């Protein structure tokens, strides 16, 4: 399930693609977000404008597909200000020759932390 920013970015993209007369379908492949014009695409969203872009991350499966297949990537920036959203489309092949930095982490979300009462306010 996408987070709110991702969901909003996909909604903005779908609206824009429809205006362009392009066809949009839900993806039947969990690695990709949509099918556009009959081809799989990955959608990346950022709440801030492109000028403040920090990074794009890809799952291990998506990264393998970058190395293996040619597909479109849509980058939707400025999702925090939808009327000024910036939409970029580029081909995965452009990333093949670039070696990304790989980060791994172990994350604990807030609901898990709440379950162990860490979220209780500290009293003085």
Q: Is the pLDDT of residue 45 over 80?
A: yes
Whole-structure pTM over 0.75, yes or no? Answer: yes
Domain chopping of the chain, boundaries: 4-115
- Quickly name the fold that domain 4-115 has: Trna Endonuclease; Chain: A, domain 1 (3.40.1350)
At 66-115, the pLDDT tens digits run 999 999 999 999 999 999 999 999 999 999 988 888 887 777 777 777 77
Angstrom distances, CA of residue 15 to CA of 9, 49, 59, 88, 121: 10, 19, 26, 14, 43
pLDDT-derived band at 6, boundaries 50, 70, 90: very high
When pLDDT is averaged across residues 42-66 and rounded to a whole number, the result is: 93
Could you tell me which of 104, 101, 100, 84 has the C-alpha nearest to residue 92?
100
Percent of the chain with pLDDT over 70: 91
Question: Which pLDDT score is estimated for 117?
Answer: 60
Q: Is the pLDDT of residue 1 over 50?
A: no
The C-alpha atoms of residue 103 and residue 32 are separated, in whole angstroms, by 21
At 105-116, the pLDDT tens digits run 777 777 777 777
Q: Is the pLDDT of residue 28 over 90?
A: yes
């Amino acid at each position: 399930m996408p987070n709110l920013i991702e969901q909003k970015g996909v909604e903005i993209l779908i609206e824009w693609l429809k205006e362009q007369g392009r066809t949009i379908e839900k993806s039947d492949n969990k690695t990709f977000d949509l099918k556009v014009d009959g081809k799989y695409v990955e959608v990346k969203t950022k709440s801030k404008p492109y000028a403040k872009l920090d990074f794009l991350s890809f799952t291990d499966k998506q990264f393998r597909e970058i190395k293996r297949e040619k597909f479109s990537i849509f980058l939707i920036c400025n999702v925090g200000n939808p009327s000024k959203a910036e939409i970029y489309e580029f081909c995965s092949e452009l990333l093949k020759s670039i070696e990304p930095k790989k980060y791994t982490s172990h994350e604990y979300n807030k609901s898990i932390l709440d379950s162990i009462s860490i979220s209780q306010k500290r009293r003085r």
